[in-house]
Structure 1
Amino acid sequence: MEHNWFFPPHDGIRLGDLAATLGAELADAAHADRVVRSVSPVNRAKEGDLCYILSRKFRGELATCAASAILCDRSLAALVPSHVAVLLSTRPHTAFALAGELLHGSAMRPEPMTSAVGIAPGAYVDPEARIEPGVSIEPMAVIGKGAEIGEGTHIGPGAIIGAGVRIGRNCSIAAGTTVQCALVGNNVILHPGVRVGQDGFGYAPGLKPGMIKIVQIGRVIIQDNVEIGANTTIDRGTMDDTVIGEGTKIDNQVQVGHNVRIGRHCGIVSGVGIAGSARIGDGVMIGGAAGINGHITIGDGAQIAAMSGVVADIPAGEKYGGVPARPMRDFLRDMAEIAMRSSTRVQKKGGNDE
């Protein structure tokens, strides 16, 4: 794939300088002046590209690799062809992520859609809103009464910031996002179409057939360095707050119900649904399309497999999977037994057909 105009190559970084920045070691000092300008997968890398490998499965692709440099662990360095420079790192995946940010900084968060500087014509900012210097607000954005937005924050076109909302510094609020009843920290990224602070799903049985809506008067608290993917929804609390902890990363199309509390540095993948009042500890990883029951607790550092159904508490540090979710060793044993029984039935059926 040729470089495209959406993410053009960098002007160039010397490998010697890159190694020093990443805390990596250049295997051959003679390559220190070689320059990299972009990142690429191994199989289509060309001159100026930087790649990384994590295992020996890349051996075949390396034979024809034309990259200028490859990041890898010392144990894999011998696999790299002699014409490719090697940057040695004990954490090559992490080092590659940092290198990508250096080479393609504009891809790290939503970019402005227009060239407008400051408050663009066509944006509406309530007279009682407080906007610090250095904020950019694009056309068709609406900033409500009493809202506060910190220096360096960008508000994309068509975004709506509700009355009284507070947004910290150096945030990116992308096009078409709505934020209401929320306090947002510093360096937060909300991708296009995120919905924050709408009322949660709460109803009581009616006196007649039907349901009566329960008032939702809580807030959403989003701490520093959180990133929330496109079209994810974060409901405000009923009477308490919904909280997203510092450093947590949430993928696209995730539903977080009212009063949910998510800890620091969690990773939540696309399609996850978290029901109201669930408590999720620090460092929890939740795979795609998992469902989390309400009013349960998931302990610090737990890992939940994709498409699991979590109906009860999970202890800290445990790995769970399946429906209903259970310890991973039990889940894998059950799956192996099901596979074995299925194979036996197929064999018996084949024998009967003969």
Structure 2
Amino acid sequence: MIRSVAPVSRGRDGDLCYLLSRRHKDELETCQASAILCDKALQSLVPPHIPVLLAPKPQTAFAVAGALLHPNAMRPDPVLCESGISERAVVDPSARLEDNVHVEALAVIGANAEIGSGTRIGAGAVIGAGVKIGRDCTIAAGASVLCAYIGNHVIIHNGARIGQDGFGYAPGPRGMIKIVQIGRVIIQDHVEIGANTTVDRGTMDDTVIGEGTKIDNQVQIGHNVRIGRHCGIVSKVGIAGSTKIGDGVMIGGAVGINGHITIGDGAQIAAMSGVVADVPPGERYGGVPARPMKDFLRDVAEMTARSASRNKKTGEKND
């Protein structure tokens, strides 16, 4: 009987674990799980007392199992166990809410907003005037959604800011003059946006996030950015305005991306990179400035070798 999931090092009776690499084989010494997911190449590492479930993609299988075992953990829990519309929420009379919408205390829903069935608006969240939110979405506590159209099955985590003004100014005789921001944010189905992430509204066009894209905590997405379907964007990424990102793009943590450039479908950007120019489809880039990964790794190897050589000469002089 499988009741929960756990890391290999502390798996116990009733737990399901997964093994991705030989680097974690030492953790098996303390594992007492009821089963381990792995591929055939790692099967021999698993102690004989633990049943093995073979899967070509064990991490994917583990994710599916986790969703089945812990369905309530698939989206943020409500702060209060209230159903329906809290008496302490503020909902404009012109807002249109379908049946089975839950609005927690201190949430505010503006004029002419529309919210679909099964959607939950968390405590203290703000839904601006004219915002449209689809069905089975979660807008977690403290988030704000303004000037936006949001599809179905979207999760927006605590403190995220969607649809505020972007950074747009023109130089004037007495300083910077604000450029009006009158576009929207369009978020398609099955998107997840992490805590304290910001997605700016478009200047005149729209900022768009494609279906199935997953965005981590503390990401900044500038105005008029267009992100394709099924992308993965890790924490601390900053994407400047009017950048176009294709489908299936993976961007590592703390990457900075210049504005008005294009990153092609299926590209991968290594963590801590600075992207200043277009990235072709399917390419792997890294470094500052970002360049093809083989070039980046060669440059790193050369710098490491030169540094080692200098250190050796310095050591000889000191001797």
Do both share a fold (TM > 0.5)?
A: yes
Which segment is superposed worse, 191-200 or 64-73?
Answer: 64-73
Q: Distance in 1 between matches of 2:172 and 2:41?
A: 66
What's the offset of the Cα at 1:121?
Answer: 1.1
Match of 1:352 in 2: 317
Q: How does 1:65-104 map to 2 (within 5 A)?
A: 65-104=31-70
Q: How does 1:152-191 map to 2 (within 5 A)?
A: 152-191=118-157
> Which residue of 240, 256, 267 maps to 1:275?
240
> Which residue of 292, 309, 313 maps to 2:278?
313
> Which residue of 253, 271, 291 maps to 1:288?
253
Q: Distance in 1 between matches of 2:283 and 2:139?
A: 35
In the alignment, structure 1 segments of 5+ residues that lack a partner are: 1-34
Residue by residue over 1:211-248, the C-alpha shift from the partner in whole angstroms, topping out at 9 and shown as x without a partner, is: 10000100000000000000000000000000000000
Match of 1:218 in 2: 183
> Which residue of 110, 129, 141 maps to 2:95?
129
1:272 partner amino acid: V
Q: Distance in 2 between matches of 1:285 and 1:316?
A: 12
TM-score between the two structures when normalised by the length of structure 2:
0.99
What's the offset of the Cα at 1:108?
Answer: 1.5
Match of 1:337 in 2: 302
Match of 1:258 in 2: 223
What's the offset of the Cα at 1:59?
Answer: 2.7
Which segment is superposed worse, 62-71 or 176-185?
Answer: 62-71
Q: Distance in 2 between matches of 1:299 and 1:162?
A: 33
| Structure 1 residue ranges, 4+ long, deviating more than 3 angstroms after superposition | none
Paired residue total:
319
- Matched residue SS, 1:50: strand
What's the offset of the Cα at 1:77?
Answer: 1.8
Task: Give the fraction of aligned pairs with identical amino acids, expressed as a percent.
Answer: 71
> Which residue of 229, 238, 241 maps to 2:194?
229
- Matched residue SS, 1:36: coil
> Which residue of 43, 50, 55 maps to 2:9?
43
Q: Distance in 2 between matches of 1:327 and 1:71?
A: 34
Q: Distance in 2 between matches of 1:65 and 1:213?
A: 59
- Matched residue SS, 2:30: coil
Residue by residue over 1:9-30, the C-alpha shift from the partner in whole angstroms, topping out at 9 and shown as x without a partner, is: xxxxxxxxxxxxxxxxxxxxxx
Residue by residue over 1:250-298, the C-alpha shift from the partner in whole angstroms, topping out at 9 and shown as x without a partner, is: 0000000000000000000000000000000000011100000000000
Q: Distance in 1 between matches of 2:47 and 2:286?
A: 41
Match of 2:107 in 1: 141
Match of 1:302 in 2: 267
Match of 1:106 in 2: 72
What's the offset of the Cα at 1:159?
Answer: 0.2
Which segment is superposed worse, 76-85 or 86-95?
Answer: 76-85
What's the offset of the Cα at 1:170?
Answer: 0.2
Match of 1:6 in 2: none
Which segment is superposed worse, 120-129 or 54-63?
Answer: 54-63
1:98 partner amino acid: V
Q: Distance in 2 between matches of 1:177 and 1:43?
A: 36
Residue by residue over 1:145-186, the C-alpha shift from the partner in whole angstroms, topping out at 9 and shown as x without a partner, is: 000000000000000000000000000000000000000000
